[in-house]
Structure 1
Amino acid sequence: MTDKNQIYGIRAVIEAIQANQPINKVYLQKGLKGDLFKELESTIRKNKISSSYVPAEKLNRLTEHNHQGVVANISSIGFQDFEPLLEGILEKNTAPLLLLLDQISDVRNFGAIIRTAECCGVDAIIVPKSGSAPLNDDAIKTSAGAAFNIPISKVDHLKDAIFYLQASGVKLVAATEKTNESIFDLDLKQPCAIIMGSEDRGINPSILKMVDNKAKLPMMGEIASLNVSVACGVFLYEVVRQRQL
């Protein structure tokens, strides 16, 4: 991680968060105390920034500078505000295709999904602020640069985004094994958003209760599931196939 992708120092990180910098994750030194450090912790929680407590040695490996017990990784790609982004998409496209990622945590899966989404003409990717893989150098590299070409929005809660999408006439389709309906049986020519779940837990049950359709892929082999980036590709290309008929 190069210096241009880092912010270090307690006050500097607080100001970066308050200025809505695209922060992927904040590393905090274990055992650190003080009023300013408490303010930083509060700011991180309030803005739902991903963080972890690590030994000082970890921070020393991240940067040679005087980090004061705090190092933040920032993305070279900015995130877009959800509501104005969606309004702009709906104005331009009568049948938009969106992708919601419910806590995809592996950066390479994230990058691969971004790459496939860009190839499939996805209008935007929406992720929650908490629990998502960072849009770091590894994710950007895995995306083969597609991350620079597709809008990505971070939201406080995916549920709020889902409510807004449904109110805007967008159908929500969840990729899950907890259904008997196949993705190949759905009408995906209308405005729709595909939801993919985390690698280990899938889509949150509370989100599954909100969607318009649940769909799965037929499995012919011994293994009961696909890698999430592969499954996402199949779902998105089924949308592409239907819309080209």
Structure 2
Amino acid sequence: MQEQTQIFGIRAIIEAINSSETIDKVFLQKGLSGDLFSELESLLNKKSVNKSYVPVEKLNRLTNKNHQGAVAQISPIAFHDMETLVNSVMESGKTPMFLLLDQLSDVRNFGAIIRTAECTGVDGIIVQKKGGAPVNGDTIKTSAGAVFKIPLCKVDHIKDAVFFMQASGIKVIAATEKTNDTLYDVSFTEPCAIIMGSEGRGINPSTLKVVDAKAKLPLLGEIESLNVSVACGAFLYEAVRQRR
């Protein structure tokens, strides 16, 4: 299995970012300062790289090398350009189906969703650069290798993807309990993109305001929500059912 690669040391991480390596996340030591460290922070902000400030103990667990207060994880996959991917799928003549993930945090949920998406013919998965689960060894394992078979794209904000989908003639459907419509009331037969929200918060309220349709799963028991990967599977297979 292809695992995520680590880079450690401030200068090495700066060079990796400048050479356009696909950096998944950078862990920075809390309370650290200095000119070089500030240069790294500025570069991370400029390039919108996902970063997290952690105690030195966390960095020491990530690597036993001299990390200088910074450890980066390089994604084992290359991300696609969203606009190029969408245009390519639209020009292919098929009825596209995309999946937008609004800051899912659990790597196993992410992996399970990637696996289901590949099995249901999803044309691409779009995630946000910051705040979401990384593509790491756990993601790859849970996806059963599907992460290497389906295009993944990163955008600055999920709303950027929503607006581009809509401008391309793709209907954006939000999976949310904040509606009276169930997924059986919504049509998935036309070009569409389904948004799934994060485990705790769901879909960002500002994103919900701009979608074309909202749909929920009917819940017949006492528990008020499903695991996001299970819910995503239900939505994707309803889309498959309608399109058959």
TM-score tier by shorter-chain length is: over 0.9
Please give the secondary structure, in 1, of the residue aligned with 2:85.
Answer: helix
Which runs of 4 or more aligned residues in structure 1 lie more than 6 Å from their structure 2 counterparts after TM superposition? none
Equivalent in the alignment of 1:57: 57
Please give the secondary structure, in 2, of the residue aligned with 1:89.
Answer: helix
Indicate whether 1:104 and 2:87 are aligned: no
Name the CA distance, whole Å, in 1 between partners of 2:156 and 2:189: 29
Aligned residues: CA RMSD: 1.4
Shift of 1:63: 1.5
What pairs with 1:46-85 in structure 2 (closer than 5 Å)?
Answer: 46-85=46-85
Please report the TM-score for the alignment, with normalisation by the length of structure 2.
0.96
Return the letter of the residue paired with 2:173: V
Shift of 1:65: 2.0
Shift of 1:91: 1.3
Please give the secondary structure, in 1, of the residue aligned with 2:26.
Answer: strand
Shift of 1:93: 3.7
| Kept after mapping to 1: 8 A contact 2:3/2:137 | no
Equivalent in the alignment of 1:30: 30
Please give the secondary structure, in 2, of the residue aligned with 1:61.
Answer: helix
Deviates more, 1:64-73 or 1:122-131: 64-73
Return the letter of the residue paired with 1:15: E
Q: Which runs of 5+ in 1 are unaligned?
A: none
Return the letter of the residue paired with 1:39: E
Return the letter of the residue paired with 1:196: M
Name the CA distance, whole Å, in 1 between partners of 2:226 and 2:219: 9
**Taking every aligned residue pair, what percent have the same amino acid on both sides?**
66
Please report the TM-score for the alignment, with normalisation by the length of structure 1.
0.95
Shift of 1:92: 1.3
Please give the secondary structure, in 1, of the residue aligned with 2:222.
Answer: coil
Please give the secondary structure, in 1, of the residue aligned with 2:179.
Answer: coil
1:78-110 deviations in whole A, cap 9, x for unaligned? 111111111111111431000000000100000
Q: Which runs of 5+ in 2 are unaligned?
A: none
Equivalent in the alignment of 1:185: 185
Please give the secondary structure, in 1, of the residue aligned with 2:144.
Answer: coil
Indicate whether 1:88 and 2:93 are aligned: no
Shift of 1:9: 1.1
